[in-house]
Chain A
Amino acid sequence: MNKENYFAPMLTADQVNSRVIEPLKKPGKAFYFMIALFIGFILIGTICLGKQIFQGLGVAGMNNPVAWGIYLTNFVFWVGIAHSGTLISAILYLFRSRWRTSVNRIAEAMTVFAVMMAGLFPLIHVGRIWFAYWLFPYPNARTLWVNFRSPLNWDVFAVSTYITVSSLFFIVGMIPDMAVLRDRFKGMRSKIYGFFAMGWRGTHKQWHHYETAYLLFAALATPLVISVHSIVSWDFAMSILPGWHSTIFAPYFVSGAIFSGCAMVITILYPLRKIFHLEDLVTEKHFTRLAQIMLLTSLIVTYSYLTEFFVAWYSNNIFEQESFYNRAFGYYGVYFFIMFICNSILPLSIFVKKIRTNVKILFFISIFVNIGMWLERFVIIITSLSRDFDPYAWGNYAPTYIEWGIFLGSIGGFLLLFFFFTKFAPVVAISEVKGQIHHDIQGGDHA
């Protein structure tokens, strides 16, 4: 077993408590300013959405043939981001990766908030949002049912399952920490923490049950990491559209999701570490590990890009060929190349150890990966639609301010939730870190 120490040397359990709990105290002016800013974003998004609902989807840029625009891009983007949380907390837990303890809480929070944002976009995107509940199979007097052949319906189940499981996982994972907070605070706050602590006393029996439950959740959540994004990818792969209709989509999308998720964790972790002075708990080594996952998934994604082009060429099918020629050299070609640089070229630098261990550079790379992965979804959705079978119907699409406004609103919503999270819950899993420190100092190995 790897005996590498992931934390600052000489870190004590008490220090962990204070490091993590410090940020929960009364926030400063900057915090309020940011909150106001994010609420502003949300307001902009809401106004745009309101306009869209009242006037019709025409205020957005979608058209015939590009009937799906950046709403669906955003949906896949947010779902993708939501993947790192479960990956880090569940899969790495099962693999006994010790480094996950410092970052799993942030990743889980990110998952829950991102999937909340993702869940909004299919609703925003439909023509009659007021009837969106028809996508759920519920008993009704009109004996109407949903079409289980439609991948969109699979999506409804995939995303709702994912939001349920990841929220539960997040809440369950916080129980011991909530107990710590319950004891640290007084009054109303203590009562709220007490509610989420669910009567946690830290007895041996409770720990035993807790660990079992956590393991089970991890085991349950692990297949979801694969299935949810596979189903999201089938929204596209199950259609007959050249550029979408491909069997590579599920692994391609899943690795893409983990790729973008890890990038987003780095993007968020870096400033958070600075602001909350968590350098002792979240060290370069954590970043390096995340970067390594990014590198691996980046290579898979690059392989998928190239395979798609190869298959299009090899198929000798005019529709496929035109679709991929258009993807690289058509109207949206520039976005394809930006995407390729961000997702395939830049991450290669992670091979270099100096870069891998430099948090600042990793932060910058992660931002480019975020942009690249957003563009990847844009490129897949929009360029494939813009030129498909019938040349009569070819046409281009450009998002309008309404769509950008709603995207901004979703970013605002995500960050607002995250900021509240940093003020109301420990950003690092106290109990797990303490366990890990104990484990490292003792040098024992319970497993």
Chain B
Amino acid sequence: MKVSRRNFLKSLGSLSLIMVPEISRGPIKKLFPLLIPADEIIPGTPYWYASTCRECPAGCGVMLKAREGNVIKIEGNPNHPISRGGLCLRGQAALQELYNEDRLRTPLCIPEKDTRTEMAWKTVIAAIKTKMTGGKTALLTGNLTGSQKSFVEKWSGLLPGETSIIVYEPSNRLAYWKANEIVFNKSVPSVYHLDRVDYVLSFGADFMETWQSPVGLSQKFAEARRFHDGKSAKLVYVGISDSLTAANADEEYKINPMSEAVVMLALANWLLENNNNLNMSSVEKTIWGRSLASFTIEVASEHSDLKGEIIKQLGAQILEHENVLILCGDSVASHERGTDSQLAVNILNYIAGNYGTTISLGSTNEHTLINSAEDFNSLIQEMEAGSIANLIIYNTNPLYTYPDQERLKAALIKVPLKIAFVTSINETAAAADFILPVHHSIESWGIEVPRTGVYSLMQPAMDPVFDTKPMEEVLLSLNSSTLLPGNLEQFIVGEWNIIFEKQAPAKSFDVNWKEMLLKGGLWNENEEAFSAPAVSSQIHNYLQNFKIPSLPSGLTLAVNYSHHFFDGRGANKSWLWEIPHPIHHTVWDTPLRVHPELATNEGLKEGDIVSLSANSRSIEAPILITEKLHPTVIAIEMGAGHTEYGKMAVKETGNPLQLLSEATDILSGDIVLLAKNVNLKKTSKWRKFVRLQGSYNQDKREIIQQIQLSEAIKLERNGAKRKETHYPVIYPIHKHEIYDWTMVVDLSVCNGCGACVAACYAENNIPVVGKQQCDNGREMAWIRIERFEMDDRSRFIPMMCQQCENAPCETVCPVYATVHSNEGLNIQVYNRCVGTRYCSNNCPYKVRRFNYFQAEWREPMARQLNPDIYHRPKGVMEKCTFCVQRIRKAKEDAKMEARLVADGEILPACAQSCPTQAITFGSINDPTSKVSKLLHDFRGYHVFENLNTQPSVIYLKGIKHE
């Protein structure tokens, strides 16, 4: 047969088709887990969902950025009344819980110890239903507000048996209410107007990191502290241990533990005598004088270890300033007499005339349920007595946070049915019979009410990452009722309807609901009206019978809330371990801070591991020597010592909460965070601390510069301008015709909290390298907070690529992998980089980061990655880009509308997240832009000005208070 060429090709084609193996249909995987229908989504466009942060009880508003169905970034909601746009590093790291490798993926049943059986939702619900008896049901939860409180109350009301709801978190709030009740007859929280102050005297109130609402308070305080019109608020800190707020203070004093109440009352007494403009009647003054008579400076001085002159000096400072606020916080006042300290600060504020100007009384938040530690103690007693049949645990981890774990464990065993709702398994969940994976707050509906009048929404921003359910829906399937709607969304809409009707706006519900979803909630723009409250008569009685708290003998251990892990819940997030702690500055550890006096007595050096024992329990921790403690105090943060909290949790250091006693504040029942009579014993072990900073002494380098307040006032009055230095250069000068991007960092407000660092990790896909590589000096952070000790004060400066005009890195790169853009940016071309690392050597700011290894992004954490950012391979250099992807986006948007980018349209991640808005960004080619106005500010300077690198980052000198 003769085969034509055509036929040959035909048969070849059909033959090869037959040869093709059968195409099998794999399991259907969603490329994008979509909430928005596919036809409405535009790939590459981010969708923003307003929601509420649940990482601490503050309730900051957040915006969740979703790309292709994955939430990739959390930012502060600029409209939200609590946080006003900033977000702390803990809030931003919530993503690392959402995508945590150790997140529970399926329901687990623990039939006996050490066995965990995976179960399907249907089976597990059925199993729980059969096990649930009609006895008393207790719900043990974390912070419970808004819709969850309402739901839990409604649901438990439908149960056949007796029920009780107990909120247990190691946070103190009741003492503040109780103190207000005693002094003003109102059991309400106080509201602090830090934006109106000239002078803050903080007794252990760490409002920059953990106290109350740190982002909101930092933001407000920054408004008062940012130098303008000859004013900058002064901060004085009196406490027993070190903290970020203490480090930022202009003066810092250490007192004996448990002595703060006497100091405050003595100050009140002193003010009463020395204030000639006292705003009270002579009768009232006499009454107060009688009540406070026994609190003299001498008594306070003897009691607190604080010199009499210093107390007088503090009093004089209070008199000197117009708008004063005195705060008293948990780090000093979490002890058996904590309420007395709050009461004392109320009296001091009252006598200083602060009520009505810088402080006011809020109103009872009926949407929040708060219990005391005492209530939890009684729950344990009930469990021990065997009267609790069913225990439902949600969003709390008492087996980490409760001091006497043995007792709690034994009590839990007596409960026949324990169900834990968790996102990731923790210690308490591990002791339950059923562990049910619930939605993360990012995946769930909800209404938070952080304070009266603020209704903050939570809405799912993505499809659940795993096979999880919202807690409410699981509870419904356990005990469904016609009284409650079948799913959570319906319930939330119903709840919102109630709020909506109460607030009675003119709009229809649908419009309001949609508007609220965009905005993030409903709130009064203006803070509640406030006035000076009347003092209750019983206070004088109380003061006359006041017994001065006895000082603890021996060594006192202060257990602090952690700036990074709060009450330990952040310990499974790698960013939080890798970002250096602003104070002790170690990564991947929580050291025990010890005074040098004690260290010498005990023969301890840094890194020595000591055994601490108190209340017949003991832990081990490595020590770090710091002078910023009272000599009788040792301090450690919560966070380490988890036994069941995933791979990231650091286990080597013990859980300090175990050393506390179960005793509570006598008046309010709040938890006690001071352990008395602690026994410290040296062990033979030693551990190296990994610090990312080489030295804390900047000598005469003038990296951080400060200016005396009086000098600043003078210069401002004279209309002084920044001195610019230009030395001759041999290369042509760059021209920036359209934009010239510039960043201004105001050091008078930067408090070193590290929110910008977390934002940068999230935005720019910066890999976490772990403790060992941090020790080797291979951390990858593009922005860092440098801390230098200046005249015994810690001062902070964020350091990122300075985008120099005469960039030393650009001239030495042999392949033009780093070049200057026509917008003033120093561009790193990853694809062209060969990796000679000469640029890094020649960078005086040492802000360049080299990829010594291939960054590893494991599922599901890889879903957090920002698709706008290139994944840098091993062997290339990288650095801060001023968030060039955001600049691009804004320019593209502007181009579509045929205009230039407006000022404020571009916010780099660091500037966006900054709670104090220390960072301003924009183009100096636009004369009306914010940066243009700050460009010639007399406080402006460049770091290493003499090198003539001409950076695009201008720092404004910090203010040094006299």
Contact = CB atoms under 8 A, between A and B. Distances in A.
Interface of A: 55-58, 61-68, 122, 125-128, 131-132, 134-135, 144-147, 149-153, 156, 238-241, 318-319, 322, 385, 387-395, 397
Contacts of B889: none
B226 to A, nearest CB: 25
Residue from the set B731, B835, B873, B876 with the largest chain A CB neighbour count within 10 Å: B835
Nearest to B852: A58
B636 to A, nearest CB: 25
A152 B818 CA distance: 14
A392 B854 CA distance: 25
Nearest to B701: A318
Contact of A56 (B699, B845, B852): B852
A389 B844 contact: yes
B929 interface: no
Contacts of A144: 815-816, 832
Contacts of B870: none
A57 B697 CA distance: 31
Nearest to B580: A392
10 contacts: A64-B777, A67-B837, A67-B840, A128-B875, A134-B832, A149-B731, A149-B811, A152-B836, A240-B844, A391-B703
Contacts of A241: 841-842
A63 B811 contact: no
Interface string B767-802: 000000100111100001010100000000001000
A389 B812 contact: no
B832 A58 contact: no
A388 B816 contact: no
Nearest to B874: A56
A135 B815 contact: yes
B701 A391 contact: yes
B900 interface: no
Contacts of A395: 694, 777
Interface SS majority for chain A = loop
Closest 7 CB pairs of A and B: A127-B835, A394-B694, A127-B875, A63-B777, A58-B852, A393-B846, A67-B837
Nearest to A149: B811
Given A56-B854, A395-B694, A240 B849 contact: no
Residue from the set A66, A387, A390 with the largest chain B CB neighbour count within 10 Å: A390
B531 interface: no
A67 to B, nearest CB: 4
A47 B845 CA distance: 36
Nearest to A393: B846
B814 interface: yes
Nearest to B784: A392
B778 A63 contact: yes
Interface of B: 692-701, 703, 731, 773, 776-779, 784, 786, 788, 799, 808, 811-816, 832-838, 840-842, 844-846, 848-854, 873-877, 944, 947
Contacts of A392: 692-695, 784, 786, 799, 846
A127 B842 contact: no
A58 B779 CA distance: 12
B767 to A, nearest CB: 12
Given A239-B812, A389-B844, A132 B834 contact: yes
Given A62-B852, A64-B850, A147-B811, A126 B844 contact: no
B842 A239 contact: yes
Nearest to B696: A391
Contacts of B842: 239-241
A57 to B, nearest CB: 5
Contacts of B811: 147, 149-150
B834 A126 contact: yes
Contacts of A156: 814
Contact of A150 (B700, B786, B814, B848): B814
A40 to B, nearest CB: 28
Nearest to B799: A392
Contacts of B694: 387, 391-395
Contacts of B873: 128
Given A239-B812, A388-B846, A389-B845, A131 B834 contact: yes
Contacts of A145: 816
B838 A152 contact: yes
A170 to B, nearest CB: 28
Given A127-B837, A241-B842, A392-B693, 11 more contacts: A56-B854, A56-B875, A63-B852, A65-B841, A134-B815, A145-B816, A150-B813, A390-B844, A392-B695, A392-B846, A395-B777
Contact of A127 (B731, B799, B834): B834
A149 B820 CA distance: 14
A67 B834 contact: no
A318 B699 contact: yes
A153 B812 CA distance: 9
A132 B699 CA distance: 40
Nearest to B787: A392
Contact of B786 (A146, A147, A390): A390
Contacts of B815: 134-135, 144, 146-147
Contacts of A66: 777
A55 B851 CA distance: 11
Nearest to A125: B836
A58 B841 CA distance: 17
A322 B851 CA distance: 29
A156 B836 CA distance: 13
Contacts of B834: 126-128, 131-132, 134-135
Contacts of B799: 390, 392
B699 A322 contact: yes
Contacts of A63: 776-778, 852
A127 B840 contact: no
B857 to A, nearest CB: 15
B778 A64 contact: yes
A386 B840 CA distance: 12
A58 B773 contact: yes
Contacts of B696: 391
B851 to A, nearest CB: 7
Given A64-B846, A134-B832, A153-B814, A127 B695 contact: no
B250 to A, nearest CB: 23
A133 B696 CA distance: 42
A309 B916 CA distance: 45
Contacts of B846: 64-65, 388-390, 392-393
Contacts of A122: 836
A391 B693 contact: yes
Residue from the set A64, A132, A239 with the largest chain B CB neighbour count within 10 Å: A64
Contacts of B700: 318
A428 to B, nearest CB: 41
B833 A240 contact: no
Contact of B849 (A64, A131, A135): A64
A126 B836 contact: yes
A187 to B, nearest CB: 47
Nearest to A152: B814
B853 A56 contact: yes
Contacts of A153: 814
B773 A150 contact: no
B213 to A, nearest CB: 30
B841 A150 contact: no
Contacts of B851: 56, 127
A387 B701 CA distance: 13
A145 B808 CA distance: 19
A56 to B, nearest CB: 4
B816 A57 contact: no
A248 B874 CA distance: 36
A392 to B, nearest CB: 4
A310 B921 CA distance: 44
A62 B849 CA distance: 12
A318 B699 CA distance: 8
Contacts of B776: 58, 61, 63
Residue from the set B696, B778, B844 with the largest chain A CB neighbour count within 10 Å: B844
Contacts of B693: 391-392
A389 B836 contact: no
B581 to A, nearest CB: 15
